[in-house]
Amino acid sequence: MTGPGDLDSASSEPLHPAAREVLLAALDRGYADPRRLHRPGREARLLLDNARDATAQALGVRPDEVTFTPSGTHAVHLGLLGLVRGSRRGDVVVHPAVEHSAVRHAVAWGARAREVGVTGDGRVRGDELTQAAASPEVGVVALQTANHEVGTVQPVGRLALPDDVPLFTDACASMGRLPLPEGWSAAAGSAHKWGGPAGVGVLLVRKRARWRNPFPGDDRVDERSTGFENVPGVLAAAAALQAVVAEREEVGARQHALVDVVRRRVGAEVPDVEVVGDPDHRLPHLVTFSCLYVDGEALVTELDRRGLGIASGSACTASTLTPSHVLEAMGVLTHGNVRLSLHRDTTRADVDAFCDALPGVVAEIRSRVGM
């Protein structure tokens, strides 16, 4: 179980209660090779097909459009690079500068990047993107459904792209929490971000999409996947996804209102703070802000000492010692950064406890440097 002070669900959500029993049962029932024709094999195959059907239903897609992968990152790599490989145009991928590093790494490995700008809220400049996509060397547009650091929802499905330029959408931050948009040819999700187990990604490829496997193939149940199927994992992921979608209206509305409280209280009670991202058209559970003159690592450490777990995009908290490329592209303050994200059972009292503690923590860290 999470403690009330764990405010980092966007990094990973604990296993949804609806998935726990399913996972335990499937560990015993779904161990066999789903390609074998004997009874245990047929049992595993049945569970795998159930997981695919349930996932398709929860997402509003066809079962044969669903592929399970070993991670969300792998689903991003497969989905995006498969569209590049299938393209009749060039190998350039147009994407906003705020895409997740999984997208940026995939492009660096197997395509050429053309980055387009974002507004101060982190939303892609749609006119720049559509203009760039018209170039004949462009094979694919990559646009996240919503930003993983600042929560801003992107205009997927509302852009006028050339007919032969498919769109890949990284839906890892939003899958289950928001309905999937229209207008994509391939999409990716990550189960541990909606309360499924780690080690399960979801790749969606539209029936009519020109997608070609960019990596070596295999002879598994699903021609787009490689390696032995994680049947217990995908079944638990599907159970969690169904549960999250069923409760999304209630949980999402509650989280949206709680994030409004954080945005309002932090902005009013901490001097020299910048609360960023779109205040309305955003993920329900996530908010990011930066505090002037504050060392991000000290902020994470001091909040953790008080039992409050948050993420940070500040340079000093990153292994690379460079600031978050998302905050950089938005042109907002990168130091003293906090990303707070709510769990499904986070309460108003939990949020208030954070907001009560923050001004003192920030003031104490500033006082160390005489500010």
Partner 1 sequence: MSERAALELDCTTMPCPMPVIELARHLGEVEVGQLLAVVALDPAAAVDVPAWCRMKGQEYVRAEVTDDGRPRYVVRRLD
96 sits near partner 1 (criterion: CB under 8 A):
no
260 sits near partner 1 (criterion: CB under 8 A):
no
Catalytic site residues? 316
Q: Which is closer to partner 1, CB of 3 or CB of 271?
A: 271
Closest C-alpha to 172, from 217, 214, 128, 202? 202
Q: How far apart are the C-alpha atoms of 268 and 23, rounded to whole Å?
A: 44
Q: How far apart are the C-alpha atoms of 44 and 20, rounded to whole Å?
A: 18
268 sits near partner 1 (criterion: CB under 8 A):
no
C-beta of 205: minimal distance to partner 1 in Å?
37
**What count of Cα atoms within 13 Å lies in the side-chain half-sphere of residue 283?**
32
Query: 101 with 80: CB under 8 angstroms?
Result: no
- Binding residue for partner 1, selected from 261, 316, 353, 357, defined by CB under 8 A: 316
Q: Which is closer to partner 1, CB of 77 or CB of 335?
A: 335
Q: How far apart are the C-alpha atoms of 227 and 68, rounded to whole Å?
A: 11
72-80, 122-130, 215-223, 363-371 -> range binding partner 1 (CB under 8 A): 363-371
Binding string, residues 220-259; x marks residues near partner 1 by CB under 8 A: ----------------------------------------
Query: 93 with 113: CB under 8 angstroms?
Result: yes
Q: Which is closer to partner 1, CB of 142 or CB of 315?
A: 315
C-beta of 336: minimal distance to partner 1 in Å?
7
Q: How far apart are the C-alpha atoms of 42 and 238, rounded to whole Å?
A: 19
Binding string, residues 317-356; x marks residues near partner 1 by CB under 8 A: ----xxx---xx--xxxxxx--------------------
Q: Which is closer to partner 1, CB of 217 or CB of 271?
A: 271
- Binding residue for partner 1, selected from 24, 108, 268, 369, defined by CB under 8 A: 369
The strand order across the sheet containing 92-96 reads 66-69, 201-205, 186-190, 167-170, 138-142, 92-96, 112-116
Q: Which is closer to partner 1, CB of 255 or CB of 334?
A: 334
Report how many residues bind partner 1 under the rule CB under 8 A.
Answer: 25
Helix (H, G, I), strand (E, B) or coil at 176: coil
C-beta of 11: minimal distance to partner 1 in Å?
21
Dihedral sign computed on CA atoms, order 294, 296, 298, 301: positive
Q: Which is closer to partner 1, CB of 322 or CB of 347?
A: 322
11-19, 208-216, 278-286, 293-301 -> range binding partner 1 (CB under 8 A): 293-301
Q: Encoding tokens for residue 267?
A: 């902005």
Query: 332 with 120: CB under 8 angstroms?
Result: yes
Residues in the chain: 371
118 sits near partner 1 (criterion: CB under 8 A):
no
Closest C-alpha to 19, from 169, 184, 198? 198
List interacting residues with partner 1 (CB under 8 A): 272, 274, 290, 292-296, 314-316, 321-323, 327-328, 331-336, 369-371
